[in-house]
Chain A
Amino acid sequence: MQATYVEAIRQGIWEEMERDPNVFLIGEDIGVYGGAFKVTQGMLDHFGERRVVDTPIAESAIVGAAIGASFMGLRPVAEMQFADFISCGFDQIVNFAAKCRYRWNAPVPIVVRAPCGGGIHGGPYHSQQNEAWFTHTPGLKVVLPATAKDAKGLIKSAIRDNDPVIFYEHKALYRRIKEDLPEGDYTVPIGKANIHREGKDMTIVTYSAMVYVAEEVAQLMEKEGVSIEIVDLRTLTPLDEETILTSVRKTSKVIVLHEANLTGGFGGEIAARITEKAFESLDGPVLRIAAPDTPVPYSPPLEKAYLPDAQKLLEKVRWLAEY
C-alpha cells in the first residue's frame, strides 16, 4: 500500500499506540484539529482525550510534562508545532532530558517530534533546520528520516527507545513523498545509515529532504558516466560512522550535503571524521554544501537562492569529479 510521508508517520504512531497503552500524545492542536500538519488526525476520536492531550501554548510544559510522565512508566510523544518553537522547550530538553541517564541513570523515553525545514515559504520562524542545536548535546538521539518507509520505521523505534529522541519531520516531504511501505510491523533502527543509492565514483553524505536533491544529481551524473553513492544518515546522533567511512573508502570522493546553514552544521563534524579516519582513501577534498549563514528568507527568489538544490550541488559534483 502506498503511503505519503505524513501518513507513514501517522501509521507508525498509531500502531505504537495500539501496541502499547503507555504511549500517549501531547502537544498543541493535536486533538480535534489533528495537528498543524495533520499527523495526528483521527487519533483523538480513536484513542480518546486521555491519550491525545491538547495543551496550552507552552512548549516548556509540554516537554517537561513528557519527561515527568516518562519517569512514571509512560512513553510520551510530544509534538512541537514547528521545529522553530522547540527553542521554547529547549532547557527541558538539553539540560534535563539529555542528561538524566548520565547524571542519575534515569531513562527518559520521550520523543519530541519537530516539523522542520524550508521550501514552504515559512520565513525565518517557520523554516529552520535546527538539528545542530541538539547534535551538540550528548544524551539526545537526533533522527531525520527522508523516506516514508524510514519515517514510519524510525518513529516506531523512537517510541520504543529508552532515551530522548528528537524526531525531525521535513514539512516539504509530508505530502510530496509517496511510496510503498512494508507490510506489517517493522522498525528501522536508530543509529544506522542507509545506502540510498549505490555508486562507485563519489559519495554524497546527506539526510532529510536533501536526499532527493542528491538523488536528482546522481541521476543526472549517471548520464555523464559518474556513479554516485548516496548515504542517507537518517540518524545524526548516534552517528553511523562505519557506513560513511566504508562508502568513502570505496569511492574516494565525498560531498556532505545538508539544508541547515553551513557554520556549525553537522556537515562539519562528518567532514572532520572523514579526514581523520579515511584520509588515505581520499582523492580530493571533502566538500560541504549547505545553506548560507543567514536566517531562512521568506521571499520566494531569496528562499530559492538560500536552499541547496540540484544546480548548486551539480556544480560541486562536477568539480570534484574532475579533481
Chain B
Amino acid sequence: MAAAKLEVVRTRQEPESELHAELARKFLYYMGLMREVEDRIERKLYRQGKIVGGVYVGRGQEAIPVGSGLAARPDDVLFPSHRDLALYLIRGLTPGQIFAQYMGRMDGLTAGREGNMHMGDLKKGLVSIISAMAASIPVAAGAAMALKYQGKDNIAWVYFGDGASSRGDWHEGINFATVQKLPLVLLCNNNQYAYSTPLSKQMACANVADRAPGYNMPAEIVDGNDVFAVHEAAQRAAAHARAGLGPYLIECKTFRMTGHSAHDPADYVPKRMFEEWAGMCPIARLEQRMEENGWAAREEIDETRAKIRREADAAIEWAEQSPYPDPSTLLDRVYES
C-alpha cells in the first residue's frame, strides 16, 4: 500500500436518481424509528420506572448506524456500539424485542440476563457490545480474520466512540488487523464527549482519524449527521476491505444530543453546543433534502412519522406483555445445556 493518507471527504453533490429517493425513504424510516424507540426508552419507560439501570441512546447520531448499516451486506458481521440501535433494527430485530430487552423481559434478546444495549444475535450477524470500551476491536478483527480464512467476501464492521480510541485494545486490535490486512471497517462516532470528558482531554490530536497513518490505514472524516455522506463513505470503506486491501477507518463527526446516560443531565456541556447541533439534526436534514429534491412530500414524511409512532405504541404494548424471566432458571445458560 502507498503511504497512508488522511482523506477528508464531504459529500455535497445531490444524488438525484429514483434509487436515491428510495434509499432516502429507507434512511428516514430507520433513523426515525431509532429516534422514536430511544425517546420512548429514555423519556418514557425509564422515567416511569419500567426500565431500571443504565440507558444509553444515540440521539443525534442516527445517521451513523443507518447510513453504514444499509451499506453493509446482510451477511456481513456487525459490532455495534451502545449508540447504534438502528443496526439492530436494520438487521430485522423488532422494536418490541428492543423494549422487552430494556425492560428485562423474556422476549428481549438476552432473556433478562443483560440489560439495555448489551445485546447481540449471532444468527443476524450482530455481536453483543462488550461493555469495556474498545474491547470489541480485537474481537471484530478476529471475526474479519475468520471471514478471510473461510474465503468469504464478507467483512466485519466495528463501531466505537472517540473515547474508546484511547484504550490499548483499540490500538492492539487495529495494529493486528492492519498487519494481517483483515477485511474490517472501523466506524468511529466522534460525538466529542466520552461521558463528561471532552475530546481535548481524550486525545492530543485533532481527529481520531489522525491516528490511522500510524497504522498505515486509510481513513476519512465525514459529516456524521449527513446520512448520505456516511453511506457513501461506508461504501468506499467496504469496497476497500472487501477487495482485500485491509482495514479502513471512517470518523463521523457528530454530537451526543443527550447526557452520557439517562441519569446524566450533562451540565458539563456548554448549552450553546446543544443549540448549535440541534440545527444539524440528521433527521431534519434528511427530511429537508427529501423535500427539496422532490423525493417526498411533507405529507409523506409526516405519514412515515405517524407510522413509526404507531409501531412504537404497539411494540411497547407487546413488550409489556412479555414475562419476566423465571427465577428458577437463574442457573441456566452458564454453559451449554
Q: State the A residues within 8 Å of B (CB).
A: 28-29, 32-33, 36, 54-61, 81, 84-85, 87-88, 120-126, 292-295, 297-302, 304-306
Output the least CB separation between A31 and chain B (Å): 8
- Of B30-38, B107-115, B283-291, the one contacting chain A is B107-115
Output the least CB separation between B264 and chain A (Å): 8
Task: Chain A residues near B116: list those with CB within 8 A.
Answer: 123
Do B53 and A298 touch across chains, with their CB atoms under 8 A apart?
yes
Do B268 and A123 touch across chains, with their CB atoms under 8 A apart?
no
Interface of B is mostly: loop
Do A302 and B132 touch across chains, with their CB atoms under 8 A apart?
no
Do A292 and B167 touch across chains, with their CB atoms under 8 A apart?
no
Number of residue pairs spanning A and B whose beta carbons lie under 8 angstroms apart: 124
**Contact size range, B:** 35 or more
- Interface positions, chain B 288-337, Cβ under 8 Å from A, are 324-327, 329-331, 333-334
Q: List 13 A-B contacts (CB under 8 A).
A: A28-B197, A29-B197, A56-B197, A88-B169, A121-B53, A122-B53, A125-B132, A126-B131, A299-B112, A299-B324, A300-B52, A302-B330, A305-B327
Taking the complex as formed, is B201 at the interface, i.e. its CB lies under 8 A from any CB of chain A?
yes
Q: State the B residues within 8 Å of A (CB).
A: 52-54, 104-105, 110, 112-116, 118, 131-135, 163-164, 166-169, 194-197, 201-203, 268, 324-327, 329-331, 333-334
| Contacts A29-B195, A122-B53, A299-B104; A56 near B112 (Cβ below 8 A) | no
Output the least CB separation between B176 and chain A (Å): 17
Alpha-carbon distance A85/B167, docked complex (angstroms): 12
Task: Chain A residues near B168: list those with CB within 8 A.
Answer: 58, 60-61, 88
Do B53 and A302 touch across chains, with their CB atoms under 8 A apart?
no
Task: Chain B residues near A302: list those with CB within 8 A.
Answer: 104, 112-113, 324-325, 327, 329-330
Output the least CB separation between B100 and chain A (Å): 10
Task: Chain A residues near B134: list those with CB within 8 A.
Answer: 57
Apart from A57-B194, A123-B116: 9 A-B pairs, beta carbons within 8 A: A57-B167, A85-B131, A121-B52, A122-B54, A124-B131, A292-B331, A299-B324, A300-B324, A302-B112
Interface of A is mostly: loop
| Contacts A123-B114, A295-B113; A57 near B133 (Cβ below 8 A) | yes
Most chain B CB within a 10 A radius of its CB, from A55, A122, A123, A305: A123
| Contacts A87-B132, A294-B330; A124 near B194 (Cβ below 8 A) | no
Do A123 and B197 touch across chains, with their CB atoms under 8 A apart?
no
Most chain B CB within a 10 A radius of its CB, from A57, A61, A85, A87: A57
| Contacts A56-B203, A302-B330; A88 near B132 (Cβ below 8 A) | yes
Output the least CB separation between B69 and chain A (Å): 24
Task: Chain B residues near A298: list those with CB within 8 A.
Answer: 53, 104, 110, 112-115, 118
Output the least CB separation between B63 and chain A (Å): 24
Alpha-carbon distance A298/B118, docked complex (angstroms): 10
Do A124 and B197 touch across chains, with their CB atoms under 8 A apart?
no
Output the least CB separation between B281 and chain A (Å): 26
Output the least CB separation between B253 and chain A (Å): 19
Do A305 and B330 touch across chains, with their CB atoms under 8 A apart?
yes
| Contacts A57-B163, A58-B167, A305-B327; A125 near B112 (Cβ below 8 A) | no
Do A301 and B324 touch across chains, with their CB atoms under 8 A apart?
yes
Alpha-carbon distance A123/B110, docked complex (angstroms): 11
Alpha-carbon distance A54/B201, docked complex (angstroms): 7
